Amino acid sequence: MARKWKAVIIGAGGSQAQAMLRALARGGATQDCLALDRAWRPEAQTAAQSMGFATQQMDALADSAQLDTLLSQTDLVVNMAGPYYRTGTAILDRAIANGTNYLDISDDADVTIPMLTRNGAAEAAGVSALIGMGSSPGTTNILIRAAVDRLGPVEDVDIYWTVDLADMTNAAVRHFWHCFNLVDPDGTTHDVAGWDALEFREMDFPAPVGLQRLVRLAHPEPITVPQYLPVKRASNFGGLNPEEALVTGWCLAHIADERRTKGALTDAAVDLFLHYRDQRAAAPRIGSGLIIDVHTKGNGLRFASGSDGGMDDSTGIPAAVGVILMMQDRISQRGVFPPEIVSPKDFFSILRDVSLGGGGLTLSSLKDGQAGERLRIRDLLV
């Protein structure tokens, strides 16, 4: 018996979810889709309705019976309600129990392994669950797969990113701080380290971003890339710009470390950081940058981008691609899996239909750790 909805989007009123809805609308994928939020902002709900989504105000996580009823009526649940170290397994488990496909944009490393352990249960239930389908993880994983599909096995993947302070929403701040709790490949999680124990790197991103200081942070890619691709090691270094924002962010993350304080200081610390952000509202914008090196001893391929755009579209658009691929049954694998299983060719074919254009991502050869000859990304997809 056909279910009522093709997709139900939980947390649809958030900024990244709204970007995903806009991308789905550009791709003509709004029919029979229900957008839910527990506390709609009027302008966000009106925008969703104007794009053709049915909307409803509901706290889908208030009780499991309510969530079960909702999931039993849809083919696909799109979980846009973080933080995922609290919501990820909760919604995934109910999706598996109701035979409902699942997608999220989880970027919390500590929940990645627990979610992947649901693979057998999802496979047995005939469920496809794609986790981490945003920008990083998400687009990063698919680019890495495209590179190793061309290069063959490599020793290292190094991911570098920076985000403008102005883009740090309440949810983004909480996630960034959570990334300071480093996670080992076996899932062991650590307290936020002191400043002298942090591992730093400097990377020169394409214009307009330029040289930025980064720190090793927990992220899903170092866990999933070596597990799903022929890669020995993967690392993740990220940061906020300007550098004082990185220092301020670490300082408050260290003070309010949820592992040590059990969350007692988190809300107050987030409010303080957002006050700091707002006090700098008139400061010049630097932008966001991404570099991915896929290599053996410094020789391989480099993806690079720099943009004055925000995080919302860079995260929401890849999520929309994943939703459309799942709606079209172009991701037919059953189980729980990260974006490494997505065909790069399929991803980019849909991306052309839903993106805003002008992404600015470049591909170069990498020789002795330095970018060399410019190459065409489309040649990787042949």
Q: What is the residue extent of each domain of the chain?
A: 5-134+312-354, 139-310+358-370
Residues 14-29: tens digit of each pLDDT: 999 999 999 999 999 9
- Omega within 30 of 0 (cis) for the link into 83: yes
Tokens of 219: 């992220």
Spatial neighbors of 30 by CB under 8 A, at least 6 apart, are 21, 24, 51, 52, 53
Q: How far is it, in rounded angstroms, from Cα 82 to Cα 118?
A: 19
Contact 109, 176 (CB under 8 A): no
The CA-atom distances, in angstroms, between 81 and each of 10, 40, 60, 188, 364 are: 6, 13, 10, 24, 36
Residue the block writes with tokens 């105000």: 57
Main-chain phi, psi angles of 263, to 5 degrees: 85, 5
Residues 98-151: tens digit of each pLDDT: 999 999 999 999 999 999 999 999 999 999 999 999 999 999 999 999 999 999
Fold match flag (5-134+312-354 vs 139-310+358-370):
no
Give the pLDDT score at 359.
Answer: 62
Contact 38, 68 (CB under 8 A): no
Fold of 139-310+358-370: Dihydrodipicolinate Reductase; domain 2 (3.30.360)
Fold of 5-134+312-354: Rossmann fold (3.40.50)
Residues 323-380: tens digit of each pLDDT: 999 999 999 899 999 999 999 999 999 999 999 876 689 999 999 999 999 999 989 8
